[in-house]
Structures are given as C-alpha cells and as structure tokens.
Amino acid sequence: MTESDEPAFSRRENDPEQRSAGQFEDPRSAGDRVRRDISAAMVRLYKEHFGRGPESVETHFASPNLVICVLRNSLTPVERNLRDIGEGQRLRDIRTLFQHSTEPQFRAIVETITGRRVIGFMSGIDVNVDESCEVFTLAADAPD
C-alpha cells in the first residue's frame, strides 16, 4: 500500500505535526493536552522575545488553580557570558525586566489554552543553573 493508498486518517495520525496538535489523543487526557500546549506556547514566546527558546520545558498543575512552567537552558550566548564574568545579578535583572514586560503575552497564552482568567503571574530565573519558571494563578472555576 503506497502512502496515497493509505486512508487519510492514517496518514494524519502518523504525522507528528498533526499528533502534536492534539487531534489524535485520548479525549480523557485533556489535561495532558493543556500542559503540552502551554509548554509549546512558552517555547515560542521565549524564542520570539529572548532570541532563544529553552531546550526543555515542563508544565504542571500544582493545584487546580496553579500552573507552573519550568524552562531549562534558555540563556543566549551573550547572557551566558554575562553570567560567566560575574554579572549574574545584572543578567537576572535584565531577564526579569523582559519577562515582566511581556506579562500580557504570558497571561494570554495561559488564558487562551485553559479558558480561565489568570489572576496572578510570577516569573523568576536562576541564572547559575539556567532555569526559569513562570507561575500562573488561575481564577477559580465558576460553580456549575
């Protein structure tokens, strides 16, 4: 059977772009899709605003109303040089300034993907180990 003979569904299912879009997942694992979509959006935002995306990202619900994203290895070569010459505090200040200047975009990502309002945003970085975190507090779900 050639690719053109395969059913269209089968071709889409084997396409990583289609799978990552969440189209062929177990519908019972909506939380997995939400975490993955937030992670992917964080990578895009970091690339766009900092010039380099993280090498890895984890997104977790620490509670029903608390989302934590941990991003690793996102420093640019210039930022690593600043850290290496002892300017870690300056680097932390600059990165924190940029992270908070893009706060509306961070909030919009989580609000769009979760369908819930972000009521708190905290951002931090440990320049020594090249890890950042973005923490979002969500408004409580409306009672049914």
Could you please report the per-residue DSSP string of 98-109?
A: HHHHTHHHHHHH
Task: Give the total number of structural domains in the chain.
Answer: 1
What is the rounded distance in angstroms from the CA atom of residue 113 to the CA atom of residue 115? Answer: 6
CB of 67 closer than 8 Å to CB of 138: yes
- Tokens at 76, concatenated: 């640019």
Q: Is residue 35 part of a domain?
A: no
Q: Is residue 90 part of a domain?
A: yes
Residue type, 10: S
The parent domain of residue 125 ranges over 51-144
pLDDT per residue as tens digits for the range 46-103: 999 888 899 999 999 999 999 999 999 999 999 999 999 999 999 999 988 988 899 9
- 30 — pLDDT class (breaks 50, 70, 90): low
Other residues' Cβ atoms within 10 Å of the Cβ of residue 20 = 14
Q: Is residue 28 part of a domain?
A: no
Q: Is residue 39 part of a domain?
A: no
What's 141's DSSP letter? P
pLDDT per residue as tens digits for the range 7-26: 444 444 444 443 344 344 44
Closest by alpha carbon to 61, among 110, 104, 100?
Answer: 110
Q: Is residue 114 part of a domain?
A: yes
What is the average per-residue pLDDT within 31-49? 93
Q: Is residue 97 part of a domain?
A: yes
pTM over 0.85: no
Q: Is residue 133 part of a domain?
A: yes
* Beta bridge mates, 126: 131
Q: Is residue 37 part of a domain?
A: no
